[in-house]
Each structure stands twice: as C-alpha cells, then as structure tokens.
Structure 1
C-alpha cells in the first residue's frame, strides 16, 4: 500500500509540475505575444480555469506527501518531509502572493482592467517562476525518495 501511495503522490506532483512549467514557459509567452486585448482576455480566462483547479491540486499534493511521510516514517523519510515542506511553501506563496493577483486578473476585461495590469501580470509571472522552482525541487525529492 505504501508503494502505491508513493507512486500516486509522485505522479500527481509530477503532472502538477508539468502543468505549471507549461504555464510559465509555453502559455504565458504565447498569451503575451497576442495583441493587448486578446492577451489580457487570455490571461483572465486562464486565471479562471486554472484558478478553479489548482487549489485542490496544490493542497492535495501536500496532503499526499504528508500522508507518505507519516506512513513511511520508519523507513527514513527526510526527502519526503523536505518535499512536503516545499509543497507547503508553494501553497503559502500561492495564497499570500499569487492568488490575490489572479483573483483581480480573472475579473478584468479590456474595459475594466487597471492601467497597471501588465505590471501586475509581470509580478505574477515572476512569482510563478519562483513557485515553479519550488515545486520542481519537491518533485525531484519525491522521485529520489522512490529509489
């Protein structure tokens, strides 16, 4: 049963990392290359779509890693505990730094967006790069813990 938990946790976190890497290095550059109104509408739509799913994914990943750490405690779980700590950091970063920007962004239209909308999205993107690095590190630790 522990092996199944380890594999499921690693896969769930790995897929989440893939989505977030895709957002950072594929989707955002595509959206940013569109004309202003289209770019802003695309970011708002993406914020609504992923904003509805990602809280469950991030928190679910953290819960899975925590359960793995507890269930496998006697087998040396330093890597898993560290990964869970990084996933907790990603959740805290999301709640305190990224979600407030996303909550504003997902309601904007070309008529209602603030004058500094690009600066706000650029701040979100910079913070997102840091969060991606954190979850990549967590994923790498979980993968290493499997061996």
Structure 2
C-alpha cells in the first residue's frame, strides 16, 4: 500500500513541478514572443485556467507528502520527505503572499483595461515564479531521494 502512495505522490508532485517549470521556461517565453496584445491575453487566459486548478493541486501535493511521511515514519528517508513537504508549504505560502495577488489582477486584464504598469507586474510575477519553481524542484528532488 505504501508503494502505491509513493507512486501517486511522486507522480502528482512531479507533474505539478513540470507544469510550473513549463510555465516559467516555455509558455511565458512563447507568450512574450506573440505579436501585439496576444501575449498579454494569453497570460490572462493562463492565469484564469491555472489559477483555478493549481490551488487544489498544491494543497493535495502537500497532503500526499504528509501522508507519505506519516505512513513511512520509521523509514530511513522520512526526514527528507518531511523537508520536501515543508518546501511545498513554502511554495504555497509564496503563492498566496506573492503570486496570487498579481495573478488575480492580471487574469482580468484585456488590452483595453490593463494598467500602465502591467508589464512590470508581469515581470515581478515571473521573478517570484522562478523562485517558486526552484523551491518546487528542490521539494521534488528531496521527495524522490526519500524513496530511494
């Protein structure tokens, strides 16, 4: 049973990290290269779509890692799993405090109603997101290492 939990947890966290990595290093670069207002509209659409799904995914990942840590409390890698869970919590806190406020504004923007500093706000979101991706990659690395 714990093996199934470890697989589900690793896949869930791993795919989430992959999505966030893709947003940072693939999608936003594609959006930035689109002509005229298309990039800003694509980011707004992505913010609406992922802004709906990601909170549940982040919280379920934290819960899965916590369950894995408790279920395998006496395993040698549990300490790494606990640190992984703590890093996932850091990413949730970062999201709530730093990224969600910007995302909540930017997902409503259109070329007609966006603020004058929309690009600076998008760039700030990107910088925070790079840091969050680094935290997520570290969490995934520790999670996988805890299973070895």
Is this a same-fold pair by TM over 0.5? yes
CA offsets 1:37-93 (integer angstroms, 9 cap, x no match): 111101100000110100011111000001111111122310000000000000000
Query: What does 1:1-147 correspond to in 2, within 5 Å?
Result: 1-76=1-76, 77-147=78-148
Aligned length: 147
Give unmatched runs, 5+ long, in structure 2: none
Instruction: Give how far 1:146 is off.
Output: 1.2
Q: Distance in 1 between matches of 2:45 and 2:83?
A: 34
CA RMSD of aligned residues (A): 0.7
Instruction: Give how far 1:36 is off.
Output: 3.4
Q: Distance in 1 between matches of 2:27 and 2:135?
A: 19
Give unmatched runs, 5+ long, in structure 1: none
Q: Distance in 1 between matches of 2:35 and 2:125?
A: 19
